Amino acid sequence: MCAKRLRIVAADDDEEMRSYYARILPSLGHAAVAVESNGHDLVRQAERFRPDLVITDLKLPRLSAIEALARLTYDIPYIIVSSADQPDNWRFDSPKLMVA
């Protein structure tokens, strides 16, 4: 378990995943300060709360995770998740983002 309580903004277009994040993050000792359904709201809430971490689905309505993260005005650690089975179709064109 992490020694520091993280403030996390999460985003997923799937209601079940949003519900999961809202339940699991506090049970792990972290705060889900916002759980959003689209990339536009992800950017808005990340700018508002300045969380320690963003967890987001790759494909979101309105803005993809890549587009949303590139619009943030500060550097923040992030985790991108996806159920997509075709990684060859993914594009990471933003100079702000690095794939590890």
How many CA atoms within 13 Å lie on the side-chain side of 10? 24
- The pLDDT of residue 52: 98
Kindly list the domain boundaries of the chain, sorted by start residue: 10-83
- Residues of the chain under the 70 pLDDT cut: 1-2, 84-100
In sequence order, which ranges of the chain are alpha helices (DSSP H)?
15-27, 39-49, 65-71
Q: Is the pTM of this model over 0.95?
A: no
Pick the CATH number of 10-83 from 3.60.21.10, 3.20.20.150, 3.40.50.720, 3.40.50.2300: 3.40.50.2300
Rounded CA gap, 61 and 4, in Å?
31
The residues, ordered by sequence, that sit 6+ positions from 100 with a Cβ below 8 Å of its Cβ are none
- The pLDDT of residue 3: 77
